């Protein structure tokens, strides 16, 4: 099912603007996120072709099938629960049957963990950006030879240094594995024996040569395979991030010299504050009354370490608040199932589906 077929099906029962525009935290450059709920045609729902979600490539537009929507609400998923209380100005369409779904059916003490865990995931993302900004990686990936050490006497040195100091060329080197010693090789050198060298261009491991039995090794070589593999993963992750990052957001983060993703940190506190309100008032406030404070975080007016400390204190406070809360421990799944069945039954009958 595509977005086009879904929108023309008449099976969407709810559609709204979500994200920063719903929170009241948007800026002129903010994207417009669309979320919605639909009910599959009866014939599709009862077939093997169940579709739980329909979205565009960037996930700026996502519609959830009724069953998946109710399931995520029952798990107290923060991004899904908030759809039940978005500001009226953000509602693009609502079928009367959607009003059957009440947020009180779902709010529970599970919110303490779901909101707090998601909040601290945002901290990790902000910290990840910090590492990327502070530790940029060279465009050209380092080679296998850069992770090779040569043991000479009682000391070791980088392979390239060893070759340079001894006037040797990598292409005339040959390797033979040392048995029972991981990633260690006898290193041979002979201009006339047509050895294969240390590694082929672009290779991820050393290559072995056929060595005459009488040929003596000149040294022992160690290839730090684990270090090389870890480096390659980080290099790939870094340059994937560079190629896919939002440049405007990146420039904003680097311009304030705090070296963390301020938007992630803003969402950390939005989630923690929303969890506190749920525990104290039993309601989820999507439009933020703490807008000025959250935008100050987004503008990087605070130090990263101070924000992390405040977030940890806020998480500890949630323990006390939810211990005192009158919310149920978890949603009543029997009641959720009853509402789910009722909505689907009514919708199918109203649409005269067979």
CATH number at residue 87: 3.30.460
CA distance 103 to 70: 11
Residues 156, 83: one domain?
no
Tokens describing residue 27: 């800026």
- Decide if 290 contacts 337 (C-beta within 8 A): no
- Over 70: is that where the pLDDT of 23 sits? yes
Query: In total, how many domains does the chain have?
Result: 2
Tell the burial category of 323 from Cβ atoms under 10 Å away from its Cβ (0-12, 13-18, 19+): exposed
Other beta carbons within 10 angstroms of residue 263's beta carbon come to 22
Q: What is the b/e burial string over 67-96, where b = at least 16 CB atoms within 10 angstroms of the residue's CB?
A: ebbbbbbbebbbebbbbbebeeebeeebbe
Q: What is the pLDDT of residues 92-114, one digit of tens each?
A: 999 999 999 999 999 999 999 99
**Does a structural domain hold residue 278?**
no
Residues 5, 74: one domain?
yes
**Does a structural domain hold residue 288?**
no
**Does a structural domain hold residue 73?**
yes
Residues 100, 153: one domain?
no
Residues 149, 97: one domain?
no
Residues 93, 1: one domain?
yes
**Does a structural domain hold residue 120?**
no
Which pTM does this prediction carry?
0.66
Residues 21, 92: one domain?
yes
Domain that holds residue 203: 144-229
- Over 80: is that where the pLDDT of 330 sits? yes
**Does a structural domain hold residue 110?**
no
Residues 168, 91: one domain?
no
**Does a structural domain hold residue 81?**
yes
The pLDDT-based confidence of 153 (bands split at 50, 70, 90) is confident
Side-chain-facing half-sphere of 184: CA atoms under 13 Å:
10
Strand partners, 35: 16, 62
């Amino acid at each position: 099912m595509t977005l086009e077929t879904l929108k023309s099906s008449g099976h969407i029962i709810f559609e709204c603007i979500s994200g920063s525009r719903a929170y009241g935290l948007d800026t002129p450059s903010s994207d417009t996120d669309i979320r919605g709920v639909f009910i599959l045609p009866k014939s599709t729902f009862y077939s093997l072709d169940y579709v739980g979600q329909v979205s565009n490539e960037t996930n700026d537009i996502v519609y959830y099938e009724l069953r998946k929507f109710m399931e995520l609400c029952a798990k107290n998923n923060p991004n899904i629960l908030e759809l039940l209380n978005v500001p009226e100005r953000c509602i693009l369409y609502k079928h009367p049957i959607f009003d059957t779904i009440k947020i009180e059916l779902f709010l529970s003490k599970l919110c303490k963990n779901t909101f707090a865990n998601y909040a601290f995931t945002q901290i990790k993302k902000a910290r990840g950006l910090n590492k990327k900004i502070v530790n940029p990686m060279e465009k050209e990936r380092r080679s296998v030879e850069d992770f090779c050490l040569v043991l000479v006497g009682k000391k070791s040195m980088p392979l390239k240094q060893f070759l340079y100091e001894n006037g040797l060329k990598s292409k005339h080197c040959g390797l033979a594995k040392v048995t029972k010693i991981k990633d260690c090789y006898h290193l041979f050198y002979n201009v006339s024996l047509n050895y294969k060298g240390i590694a082929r261009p672009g290779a991820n491991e050393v290559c072995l040569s056929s060595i005459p039995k009488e040929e003596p090794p000149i040294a022992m070589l160690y290839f730090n395979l684990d270090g090389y593999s870890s480096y390659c993963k980080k290099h790939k992750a870094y340059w994937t991030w560079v190629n896919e990052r939002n440049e405007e957001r990146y420039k904003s983060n680097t311009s304030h010299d705090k070296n963390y993703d301020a938007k992630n940190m803003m969402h950390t506190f939005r989630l923690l504050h929303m969890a506190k309100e749920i525990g104290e008032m039993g309601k989820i406030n999507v439009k933020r009354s703490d807008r000025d404070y959250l935008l100050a975080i987004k503008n990087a007016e605070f130090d990263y370490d101070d924000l992390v400390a405040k977030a940890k204190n806020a998480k500890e406070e949630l323990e006390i608040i939810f211990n005192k809360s009158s919310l149920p421990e978890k949603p009543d799944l029997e009641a959720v199932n009853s509402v789910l069945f009722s909505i689907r039954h009514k919708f199918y009958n109203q649409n005269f589906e067979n």
